[in-house]
Amino acid sequence: MNKSGYNSNSQNLIIKIDALELCYGNIAAVRSCSFSLKKHECLAMIGANGAGKTTLLKGLAGIKNPRKGKVFFKGQNITQTPPHVRSSMGITLVPEGRGIFARLTVKENLLLGGYAKKMSKLELKQNIEKQLNVFPQLKEKMLQLAGTLSGGEQQMLSIARALIGKPELLLLDEPSMGLAPIVTEQIFKVIASIKEEGVSIIIVEQNAALALETADMAIIIESGEITRRAKASELLEDDSVQKAYLGV
């Protein structure tokens, strides 16, 4: 372990990025970003609007190609690996705004969750059943168009769909955005149980306190650069972090 609590032994790492730079045109939205995350751990990414959090998640999912730097997944260089291949390797993004198919039914959306991974019909059915037990609200709405669900139900559908593909690394972009506190609480309970099952998670969340309580490690990103890496518990207690991000 080094000072920031990171184990540099790459065998244990689920993901590692090295001096990553992600641009829109000539503008670098993410600059010289480096971090790593151990298998089975949860990393919270904290930062103001426009800091580059979504862009960084897109870089991990392969939706955004880097101009510089490298991405490693379980020690393998995936910098040039396209998003659908990363998805089949076990990296799944639950995007900001959920990314569900509004004009497909709940059931059809869930079936798509198994698309990237090769799995038998039986396995797919079992995975869907498992998620319906986690999110019983969805069970009664299987034949309803996804676009007619409430915001909370859409977020549940989006997470359920991601989990059906059995990800090893789940990337969650603002899962509580626009949700009532009670729904947010349910979503975070599910996130904690996903972590218990051994899935590695990177979570971007406006509710920084909630994210830091859930996560093991945390990074702070400001104007496209990582300005702090620490244990999540350490940042929760930190005066400057409390003032800037926790509204204390």
Binding site for ligand ADP (CB under 6 A): 24, 29, 47, 49-55
Q: How far apart are CA 162 and CA 113, in angstroms?
A: 6
Toward ligand ADP, which CB reaches closer, 49 or 76?
49
Say whether residue 176 binds Mg ion (CB under 5 A).
no
Say whether residue 109 binds Mg ion (CB under 5 A).
no
Say whether residue 54 binds Mg ion (CB under 5 A).
yes
Helix 151-164 × helix 121-134 angle, to 10°: 140
- Min dist CB 174 to Mg ion, Å, is 6
The first and second tokens of residue 183, run together, are 């729904």
Cβ neighbours, 10 Å, residue 143? 9
Toward Mg ion, which CB reaches closer, 54 or 127?
54
Helices then strands, counting H and E runs in the chain, come out as 10, 10
Which range touches Mg ion (CB under 5 A), out of 5-13, 50-58, 137-145, 191-199? 50-58
- Min dist CB 48 to ligand ADP, Å, is 7
User: Are 138 and 157 spatial neighbours (Cβ–Cβ below 8 Å)?
Assistant: yes
Which range touches Mg ion (CB under 5 A), out of 53-61, 124-132, 214-222, 240-248? 53-61
Calculate the alpha carbon distances from 7 to 31, 39, 94 in Å.
Answer: 23, 11, 27
- Min dist CB 109 to ligand ADP, Å, is 24
DSSP secondary structure code for residue 92 in this structure: E
- Min dist CB 204 to ligand ADP, Å, is 7
Toward Mg ion, which CB reaches closer, 54 or 154?
54
User: Are 234 and 66 spatial neighbours (Cβ–Cβ below 8 Å)?
Assistant: no
The one of Mg ion, ligand ADP, none whose footprint includes residue 52, by CB under 5 to 8 A per kind, is ligand ADP
Toward Mg ion, which CB reaches closer, 131 or 207?
207
Chain centroid to Cα 71, Å, comes to 16
The first and second tokens of residue 85, run together, are 């291949």
Residue ranges binding Mg ion (CB under 5 A)? 53-54
